[in-house]
Amino acid sequence: MSEKQEIKFPFSEAFRFSLESIRRRFTRSLITVVSVVLGIAFLVALLTMADVTIALNPGSEGEALPAYQLWMAVIALLVCGVGIVNSMLMSITERYKEIGTIKCLGAMDRHVLELFLIESCVLGFLGGLLGSVTGWGAALGIMYVNEGRPEVLGAAFSSIRWVAYAILISIVLSFLASVIPAYIAAKLNPAEALRYEV
């Protein structure tokens, strides 16, 4: 009776493979990261400016962040998510032969899924980190110029928590936006993938 062997693909190897893929497709990865940076920077700037306004003017909670600005930030994040989906779909199309090859070498559907999800989470983390720091710095600069008071610095530093929240939001957004493209890549038939011409 033959024993079925489980193919192992350690997380460290999958992570290394994903980083290598990002490096090889640097331009596409850069476009994805920039879309995340812009959406997250806008969100963090709005939230930080609202915090600073509340700290400098107690009692202005209702007018610190108008609802329309929050909706603009949500729409910016949705556009960012669509950009990530598009980028991942293009990445899969470019890599049909690569996916077919690794599946022929024994990679299972979950291994391919893992590769694409790790890649998108890394891009989300980088975009979130750059975007949140940029947005926080921009908000600090704008508020300092507008208010001209040194209290702005203290109020801005108390709102640094938005940087951590934004990084988490960008990772989750990138992960969710990549689930369907990664699933499509995982379900590719190896023989058809190897025959595919771009």
Does some domain include residue 1?
no
In a domain, 126, yes or no: yes
Which pLDDT belongs to residue 119? 92
Residue 197 pLDDT > 80? no
The pLDDT tens digits of the residues spanning 94-137 come to 888 888 888 888 888 888 999 999 999 999 999 999 999 999 99
Task: Tell whether 3 is covered by a domain.
Answer: no
Provide the domain limits for residue 155. Answer: 27-195
The residues near 8 (Cβ < 8 Å, ≥ 6 apart) are none
Whether 6 is covered by a domain: the verdict is no
Token reading at 140: 């600090």
CB 130 within 8 A of CB 33: yes
Does residue 5 lie in a domain region?
A: no
Spell out the residues 6+ positions from residue 158 whose beta carbon is closer than 8 angstroms to its own: 51, 55
Output 138 or 198, whichever has higher pLDDT: 138
Q: How far apart are CA 181 and CA 27, in angstroms?
A: 19
Domain membership of residue 176 (yes or no) is yes
> Quick one: pLDDT at residue 114?
92
- The answer to whether residue 4 is domain-embedded is no
Q: Do residues 112 and 193 touch, judged by C-beta distance below 8 A?
A: no
Q: What pLDDT sits at residue 106? A: 82
Structural domains counted in the chain: 1
Query: What digits encode the pLDDT tens for the residues 132-173?
Result: 999 999 988 888 788 777 777 777 777 888 899 999 999 999
Determine, yes or no, domain membership for 12. Answer: no
